[in-house]
């Protein structure tokens, strides 16, 4: 692979990691919003799951950033993205006492979040399949991931 492609992959890894590093950190220091969404989805142990999600997102985001355990992390994030998209973003929003137009806007926003999650799932499958490039811990360790 060329140095240019490896540099592009590095930039892509940085971009793919930012959301999860920031989101994971936020869930760890302020889990209430996530716990509320988990409760609203009917899942048990909302506080525990919020912290677990935060820890997973932070660690997985850091792994993507540095290119460590890329195949496993890519597949795990792909599954996480699709799962959370389907569980938390696939239904209409109906907040009691909100105007119909506001609930409609929130539903459209939720659909966009579902599409974002599914799209990110595809990006992480590509990362898992084609690898982290030369500028990564995996490459330094001699781990070769190619299609």
Which residue do the tokens 């009691």 mark?
96
- What confidence score (pLDDT) does residue 2 get? 85
* Full domain range(s) for residue 96: 3-140
- Looking at the domain assignment, is residue 147 inside a domain? no
Pair of tokens at residue 131:
């690898």
Q: Please report whether residue 146 resides in a domain.
A: no
* pLDDT of res. 22: 98
Low pLDDT (below 50) residues in the chain: none
Could you tell me if residue 60 is inside a domain?
yes
Residue 68 DSSP label: -
59: tokens are: 């660690």
Tell me the pTM.
0.92
Q: Is residue 24 domain-resident? A: yes
For the chain, the domain total comes to 1
117 within a domain of the structure (yes/no): yes
* 145 in any annotated domain: no
The answer to whether residue 114 sits within a structural domain is: yes
Q: For residue 84, what are the contacts with CB-CB under 8 A and spacing of at least 6?
A: 117
Contacts of 126 (CB under 8 A, 6+ apart): 74
* Predicted pLDDT of residue 146: 63
Q: What is the pLDDT of residues 1-34, one digit of tens each?
A: 688 999 999 999 999 999 999 999 999 999 999 9
């Amino acid at each position: 692979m060329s140095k240019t492609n490896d540099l592009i992959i590095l930039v892509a890894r940085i971009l793919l990691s930012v959301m999860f590093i920031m989101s994971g950190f936020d869930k760890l220091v302020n889990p209430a919003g996530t716990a509320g969404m988990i409760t609203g989805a009917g899942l048990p142990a909302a506080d525990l799951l919020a912290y677990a999600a935060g820890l997973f997102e932070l660690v997985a985001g850091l792994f993507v950033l540095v290119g460590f355990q890329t195949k496993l992390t890519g597949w795990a994030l792909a599954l996480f993205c699709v799962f959370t998209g389907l569980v938390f973003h696939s239904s209409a929003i109906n907040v009691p006492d909100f105007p119909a137009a506001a609930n409609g806007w929130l539903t459209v926003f939720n659909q966009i979040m579902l599409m974002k999650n599914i799209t990110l799932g595809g990006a992480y499958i590509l990362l898992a399949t084609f690898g982290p490039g030369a500028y990564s811990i995996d490459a330094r360790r001699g781990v070769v991931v190619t299609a």
